[in-house]
C-alpha cells in the first residue's frame, strides 16, 4: 500500500495547544484537505482527520487521535499522503510531477537523451530537467517540444529545437 501513496503536504510544526498541525501544501489543489478523511504516513500510520482549514499559506489539520501539542510534535517533518486513486483527476495531456520524474527521454529519431530528474515550475510553463549527457538539458513542457508522454512505457519523446545546438 505504501507505494500507492502520494504526498500532498508536509507537516512543518504544531499549531496551538489543541493538537493542530501546520502543513505546507504540496498540491495544486489545497482545497482537497477540506474533504480529507484519512491521512497516511510512510511508517504505515493512518490518522483520521477531524478538521482542516486554510491559515495564510498553510493548512491547519486536526487529527481525531491526537488531542494536544505534545501528541503531534512527533509528526513534524512528516509527509501527509493519500492513496493514488484519490488524486484529483487531471485533464487529458496533463500530468502530476511525480509521474514525469524518472521518465526516459528520447528525441523524435529515437536517440536516448537521459532521464527527467526534476521539474521546474517557472510560471508560464514547466521545464523538465533531463540528465544523462554531458550537461543537463532543460526541456520546456510545451506541445511544440514534447511530442509524446507514455507513462505506461515510462518514456517521453521530444523534438529538440535548432537553437539548443
Percent of the chain with pLDDT over 90: 75
pLDDT given at position 93: 87
Q: How many CA atoms lie within 13 A of 85 on its CB side?
A: 2
Q: Is 44 left (phi over 0), alpha (psi -120 to 50) or beta?
A: left
Contact between 8 and 49 under an 8 Å Cβ cutoff? The reply is no
* Res. 2: pLDDT tops 60: no
pLDDT band at 111 (very low <50, low <70, confident <90, very high): very high
Only one residue has cell 509528526, namely 75
pLDDT at 161 over 90: no
Residues 40-84 pLDDT 10s: 998 889 999 999 999 999 999 999 999 999 999 999 999 999 998
CB neighbours (10 Å) of residue 93? 8
Residue 5 in contact with residue 62, Cβ under 8 Å?
Answer: no
pLDDT value for 165: 59
Mean pLDDT of 103-132: 94
For the entire predicted model, the pTM comes to: 0.75
Which DSSP string corresponds to 118-146?
Answer: EEEE-SSSEEEEEESSSS-EEEE-STTTE
Supply the pLDDT for residue 89.
86
| Cα 115 to Cα 117: distance, rounded to the nearest angstrom | 6
Which pairs count as long-range contacts for 27-36, CB under 8 Å and 24+ apart, including other chains? 27/88, 29/88, 30/54, 30/59, 32/8, 32/82, 32/88, 33/8, 33/9, 33/59, 33/61, 36/61, 36/82
For 19-46, the pLDDT digits (tens) are 999 999 998 888 999 999 999 998 889 9
Can you list the domains of the chain with their CATH numbers? Answer: 2-86 (2.40.30.60), 97-164 (2.30.30.240)
pLDDT for the residue 34: 93
pLDDT value for 108: 95
Q: Are 37 and 29 in contact (CB under 8 A)?
A: no
**Residue 137: its pLDDT value, please?**
92
Amino acid at each position: 500500500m505504501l507505494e500507492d501513496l502520494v504526498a500532498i503536504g508536509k507537516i512543518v510544526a504544531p499549531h496551538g495547544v489543541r493538537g493542530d498541525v501546520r502543513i505546507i501544501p504540496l498540491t495544486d489543489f489545497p482545497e482537497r484537505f477540506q474533504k480529507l478523511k484519512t491521512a497516511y504516513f510512510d511508517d504505515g500510520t493512518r490518522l483520521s482527520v477531524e478538521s482542516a482549514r486554510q491559515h495564510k499559506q498553510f493548512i491547519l489539520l486536526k487529527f481525531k487521535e491526537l488531542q494536544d501539542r505534545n501528541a503531534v510534535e512527533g509528526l513534524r517533518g512528516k509527509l501527509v499522503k493519500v492513496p493514488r486513486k484519490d488524486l484529483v483527476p487531471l485533464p487529458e495531456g496533463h500530468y502530476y510531477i511525480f509521474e514525469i520524474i524518472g521518465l526516459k527521454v528520447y528525441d523524435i529519431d529515437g536517440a536516448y537523451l537521459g532521464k527527467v530528474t526534476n521539474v521546474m515550475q517557472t510560471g508560464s510553463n514547466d521545464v523538465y530537467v533531463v540528465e544523462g549527457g554531458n550537461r543537463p538539458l532543460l526541456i520546456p513542457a510545451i506541445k511544440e517540444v514534447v511530442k509524446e508522454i507514455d507513462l505506461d512505457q515510462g518514456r517521453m519523446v521530444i523534438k529538440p529545437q535548432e537553437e539548443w545546438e
